[in-house]
Amino acid sequence: MNKNIQLDKARKQKNGGLADKEDFAKVRLEINGRPIIRAIFPATSLLEFIREELGLTGTKKGCDLGDCGLCTVLLDGKPVLSCLMLALDAEDHQITTIEGLTNGGELHPIQEAMLKHGAVQCGYCSPAMVLNGVHLLDTHKNPDQMAIKEAISGTLCRCTGYTKIEKAFLAVTHQKGAKV
């Protein structure tokens, strides 16, 4: 795959891993349902690609090290830490960021519930929390509190103590249960 060749080139770069002009690599991804082709530094993380190249600033950076989970996006529906992934490695995958969730339409039930239950304080963790919730609902018929805790435990929140986030998630899953 040409992706690997490009990566090799990046590794060969001595300058402290910093790439030169010649090292642009072409990347083709699908983000929020939109195909995107760009020439980037091979070392560009998916997070940097999303925030800086595409200007989708809903995805947050908290550490760039894989510690905080604030940069969570969905890769083929699964939450991943976009700071730990190269944009090149996301090629041929479908990526959903918070902007792609509603596309300007109505709020997702998870968002509705977080709004109503006061699960948003500073909101810096909210985009990641929402995506965690979306994945939880997609994969669990009737998640219990433990499953909810697990679903959000990869993303830090310093404001809420998670209490109201859990509450909001629980409310949605109950609704969901009721509908079934």
Partner 1 sequence: MSLQDSKRYQTIGKPIPMLGARDKLTGTARFTDDIRLSRPLFVKILRSPYPSAHLKSIDISKAKKSKGVKAVITGKDIPNSFGVLPISKDECAMATGKVRYVGEPIAAVAAESLRDAVAALRLIKVKYEVLKPVLNIAQGLKKTKNPIHPELKREDNIHKSAHQSFGDPDKGFDGAKVVIERDFSFLSLSHGFTEPHSVQVEIKDDDELTVYSATQVPHYVHLALSEVLEIPLHKIRVIKPYLGGGFGGKSDPFPHEMIAARLALMTRRNIRLTLEREEVFFTHHGRHETQVKMKLGLDPGKGITALDGKMLIDGGAYGSFGIVTSYYNGVLLQGPYKIANFRFDCDRIYTNKPVCGAMRGHGGVNPRFASESLLDMACHELKIDPCEFRLEHFLEKNSLTANQFRITSVSIKKGLEKAMTKSGWKKKHRQLPYGKGIGVACGFFISGSALPIHWNKIPQSTARLTLDESGLAVIYSGASDIGQGSDTVLAQMVAEVLGLPMGMIKVVSADTALCPTDMGSYSSRVTFMAGNAARNASIQMRRTLVKAACQLLKIDEPPYPDPGKPMSFFRQGQRKPDFKKGFLGANPDYEDGFSFSEKKIISPANEELDYLEVVKKAMEENGTLQAKGCYLSPKMGGTHKGAGAGLSPSYSFTAFITEVDVNPLTGKVKVEKVTCAHDCGVPLNPLAVEGQLEGSIHMGLGQVLMEGLRYEHGVQQNASFLEYKIPSPFEQPEIEIILPDSDEQEGPFGAKEVGEGALAPFNPSVANAIFDAVAVRLFDLPITPDKVLDAIHKNNQKKD
Q: Contacts by 68-72 with C-beta closer than 8 Å and gap 24+?
A: 68/155, 68/156, 69/128, 69/154, 69/155, 69/156, 70/124, 70/125, 70/127, 70/128, 70/155, 70/156, 71/47, 71/128, 72/127, 72/128, 72/131, 72/132, 72/154, 72/155
99: contact with partner 1 by CB under 8 A: yes
> Per rule CB under 8 A, is residue 166 in the interface with partner 1?
yes
Check binding of 66 to ligand FES (CB under 6 A).
Answer: yes
160 binds partner 1 (CB under 8 A): yes
CB of residue 112 to partner 1, shortest distance in Å: 9
| CB of 56 or CB of 180, closer to partner 1 | 56
- Is residue 118 close enough to count as binding partner 1 by CB under 8 A? yes
Q: How far is the CB of 124 from partner 1 (least distance, A)?
A: 3
For ligand FES, the binding residue among 83, 85, 134, 151 (CB under 6 A) is 83
In sequence order, the 6+-apart residues with CB closer than 8 A to the CB of 53 are: 38, 40, 44, 87
Give the residue, chosen from 5, 39, 63, 115, that forms a contact with ligand FES under the rule CB under 6 A.
63
